[in-house]
Homo-oligomer: A and B are copies of this chain.
Amino acid sequence: MWSGQPPARPVGRGAKVRVAVHAATLAELVDKGYAALTVENVAQRAGVHKTTVYRRWKDRESLLIDALAEHMATDIPVPDTGAIETDLRALARSIVQAFTSPAGQAILAAMFTGAAHLPEIAAARRQVFDDRLARVEPVLRRAIERGQLPGDTDPAEVLKTLAAPIYLRLLITAEPVDETIADQAVRVTLAAVHAGALRPGRDDEPVGE
A residues bordering B, Cβ < 8 Å? 33-35, 83-86, 88-89, 109-110, 112-114, 116-118, 122, 125-126, 129-130, 157, 160-161, 163-165, 167-169, 171-174, 180, 183-184, 186-188, 190-192, 194-195, 197-198, 203, 205, 207-209
Whether B198 and A35, one on each chain, are in contact in the complex, defined by CB atoms closer than 8 angstroms, is: no
Residues of chain B with a CB closer than 8 A to A195's CB: 187, 190-191, 194-195
Partner of A171, one of B112, B188, B208: B112
Say whether chain A's binding surface is mostly helix, strand, loop, or mixed: helix
Whether A122 and B174, one on each chain, are in contact in the complex, defined by CB atoms closer than 8 angstroms, is: yes
Whether A197 and B207, one on each chain, are in contact in the complex, defined by CB atoms closer than 8 angstroms, is: no
User: Could you tell me the distance in whole angstroms from the C-beta of A64 to the nearest C-beta in chain B?
Assistant: 13
**Lowest 3 A-B CB distances belong to which pairs?**
A85-B208, A191-B195, A113-B116
Whether B208 and A89, one on each chain, are in contact in the complex, defined by CB atoms closer than 8 angstroms, is: yes
Residues of chain B with a CB closer than 8 A to A83's CB: 208
Whether A85 and B207, one on each chain, are in contact in the complex, defined by CB atoms closer than 8 angstroms, is: yes
Given contacts A117-B113, A203-B180, A208-B86, contact A173 B160 (CB under 8 A): yes
User: Could you tell me the distance in whole angstroms from the C-beta of A140 to the nearest C-beta in chain B?
Assistant: 15
Residues of chain B with a CB closer than 8 A to A110's CB: 117
Taking CB as reference atom, which chain B residue is nearest A169?
B160
What are 18 A-B interface contacts by the 8 Å CB criterion?
A33-B117, A34-B117, A86-B209, A89-B208, A109-B116, A110-B117, A126-B173, A129-B173, A160-B173, A161-B165, A163-B168, A164-B165, A164-B167, A167-B168, A171-B171, A187-B195, A188-B188, A191-B191
